[in-house]
Amino acid sequence: MADPLKSICDDPLERKWVWISLVLAVVMGVTLGYYAVASNLHPPSNVETIDSSRLHLSEEFAEDNLGVKTNPDGSVRVTLVAARYGFYPPRIEVPVDTKVTFRLASADVLHGVHVPNTNMTTMVVPGYISEVTTTFPRTGEYSLLCNEYCGLGHDSMWSRLVVVPKTAGGQS
Ligand code: CUA
């Protein structure tokens, strides 16, 4: 088979390396695509804005409305505020094997949220509402960590996520 690169490059060694880099790029692309599908990883898709300095005056992110709520269809909604240096409320319980939608807003600077060993991770950009929907297949205690440097207390910015058996609750 004639080398299609022959028309743009005469040196066989150079063509060989062009092929190697092309193959590597394809392998990396396929790997990324595979894990995006297999692990259900995707960029945040909703763009919703909010005034970070007036969260307490908003309906959704007012202190009394934070935490875990169960929707009529059985799915769960978790509303959290990220602020230096913690997530509020600091401990949440969600049921296992249930669709959980996190809605987060920052009260100050850029934060991130990450639950190790799950696909729950997103940035929390001031001025925007971050939304992630996921399902936790295993019960247990997880840490909800901040993974964007947000100041001197960044290291200690974490809270507790407890995944409980379905019958035991998840309601607030
Ligand atoms: Cu919040 Cu780092």
Residue 170 has pLDDT above 50, yes or no: no
Q: What is the pLDDT of residue 21?
A: 96
pLDDT digits over 129-145, tens only? 999 999 999 999 999 99
Ligand 1: does its nearest atom lie under 6 Å from the Cβ of 146? Answer: yes
Strands (E), the chain: 67-70, 76-83, 86-88, 91-95, 99-106, 111-114, 121-124, 130-135, 140-145, 158-164
Residue 41 has pLDDT above 80, yes or no: no
Alpha helix segments (H runs only) across 8-109: 12-38
Name which residue sits closest to atom 1 of ligand 1, judged by CA. Answer: 111
Query: How far, in Å, is the centroid of ligand 1 from the Cα of 165?
Result: 30
In the DSSP assignment, the letter for residue 49 is: B
Q: What is the pLDDT of residue 55?
A: 84
Ligand 1: does its nearest atom lie under 6 Å from the Cβ of 77? Answer: no
Residue 4 has pLDDT above 90, yes or no: no
Q: What is the pLDDT of residue 112?
A: 94
Ligand 1: does its nearest atom lie under 6 Å from the Cβ of 104? Answer: no
Query: How far, in Å, is the centroid of ligand 1 from the Cα of 105?
Result: 13
Query: How far, in Å, is the centroid of ligand 1 from the Cα of 167?
Result: 33
Query: How far, in Å, is the centroid of ligand 1 from the Cα of 63?
Result: 20
**In the predicted model, what is the mean pLDDT of the chain?**
89
Asked if 32 and 39 count as a contact pair (C-beta separation under 8 A), the reply is no
Atom number, ligand 1, closest to the C-alpha of residue 82: 1
Average of pLDDT values for 104-133?
92
Ligand 1: does its nearest atom lie under 6 Å from the Cβ of 148? Answer: yes
Find how far residue 114's CA is from the centre of its chain. Answer: 6
Ligand 1: does its nearest atom lie under 6 Å from the Cβ of 154? Answer: yes
Q: Which of 39-48, 70-79, 99-108, 130-139 has the lowest mean pLDDT?
A: 39-48
Q: What is the pLDDT of residue 43?
A: 66
